[in-house]
Amino acid sequence: MMIEIDGLVKDYGSLRAVDNIHFQVREGEILGFLGPNGAGKSTTLRVLTGYLSPTAGTIRVGDMDIRRHSRAIRQRLGYLPEHNPLYTDMTVYDFLFFCAEVRGIPLHRFRRELDRTVSSCGLTGVVHRKIGTLSKGYRQRVGFAQAILHDPQILVLDEPTSGLDPNQILEIRRLIRELGRDKTLILSSHIMQEVQAVCDRIVIIDRGCIAADGTTEDLLRQYEGVPVLELEFFADDPMLDAMCEAIEGISVRTAQQLPDGAWKLCLNIPGDDTQSSVYAWIRARGWVLREMYRRRVTLEGIFRRITMGEASGEASNAIEEASGETPDAAEEASDTAGGDS
């Protein structure tokens, strides 16, 4: 079931949180949806999941439109918001039973789905414990459980590992991979390693607009620029001019002599093959090579390059706060922010 977002706009009063965005999510795909705070990520996901109405544009899930078929679309979606809403005085069982009743799941089906859900989310040993007594990692698992209890075709996860410790993050990441085997999944996260590890494709949103769209490999190739080789070696004279003449295509980007006498160079190089030529040049002169590596662009570096422009911080924060409130509260927040983001 494909998701198609076409010309989506969402305003909070005079404040535009999402500005005419277009992208698709293919069936069975795991999409990473990235952006800085206030970029419009959560707003987009809330419109997709039916919690907010679009100002303009449309979202289609299969052949259904979010305006006309909101309830039918929500029946096919599982949603874990950034701030996991749980009733902490309930046991895990009671909470999931309540969620099943809200979704209209009959009792005989609930019993079957409960076993599957508890097993998938690793909740077997805590089903009859109160949610308030669980660790944050287990509470997040309960959030996953309510999102998949009705066996949805699409999962929308907004910052699912926010606030978790490294061990808990690894556990949740494994769970996301398992759930992504047979579902279409949209994952919003600030953790670049997480996105790179589990996502098939990445969409980056910045200040309400789509700034990048592609696989990790596509983005790395697009933003790599001129390859750079960094090296440190000991030599009385680094012979930079002679090196550049002898090795085709290289040029010195920076050169400095370190306090211990070693030379540190950054070289622009035409490609990976040049690295062996530089190594051979240094070895032929009997110099001692201490370090040499190809500087590679990272997903985090790409994200920073795309989103480092000056942002309206107060307005961005107001968007995030307002997007979870009533229209009146949203308008009040936009007035407080004072202008478009």
pLDDT digits (tens, 9 = 90+) for 54-112: 999 999 999 899 999 999 999 899 999 988 889 999 999 999 999 999 999 999 899 88
- 3-state class of 49 per DSSP? coil
Whether pLDDT at 143 is above 80: yes
At residue 314, the pLDDT reads: 41
Whether the CB-CB separation of 252 and 244 falls below 8 Å is answered with: yes
Q: How many Å apart are CA 235 and CA 285, to the nearest integer?
A: 9
Residue 188: name the closest of 76, 31, 320, 300 by CA: 31
Q: Please list the residue range(s) of the chain that carry CATH number 3.30.70.260.
A: 226-295
- Rounded Cα gap, residues 192 and 173, in angstroms: 12
pLDDT of residue 33: 93
- CATH 3.40.50.300 domain position(s) in the chain: 3-76+153-221+308-337
Residue 329 has pLDDT above 70, yes or no: no
CA neighbor of 312 nearest in space, from 329, 336, 294 = 336
Percent of the chain scoring above 70 in pLDDT? 89
CATH of domain 3-76+153-221+308-337: 3.40.50.300
- Calculate the average pLDDT of the chain: 85
pLDDT for residue 292 is more than 90: yes
pLDDT of residue 172: 80
Amino acid 1: pLDDT: 56
Question: Does CATH place domain 226-295 in 3.30.70.260?
Answer: yes
Rounded to whole angstroms, the Cα distance separating 88 from 12 reads: 31
**CA 316 to chain centroid:** 18
Residues paired with 24 in a beta bridge = 4
Residue type, 320: E
> What are the counts of helices (DSSP H) followed by strands (DSSP E) for the chain?
13, 14
Contacts 24+ apart (CB under 8 A), 22-25: 22/210, 23/203, 23/210, 23/213, 25/184, 25/186
* pLDDT mean over 23-33: 92
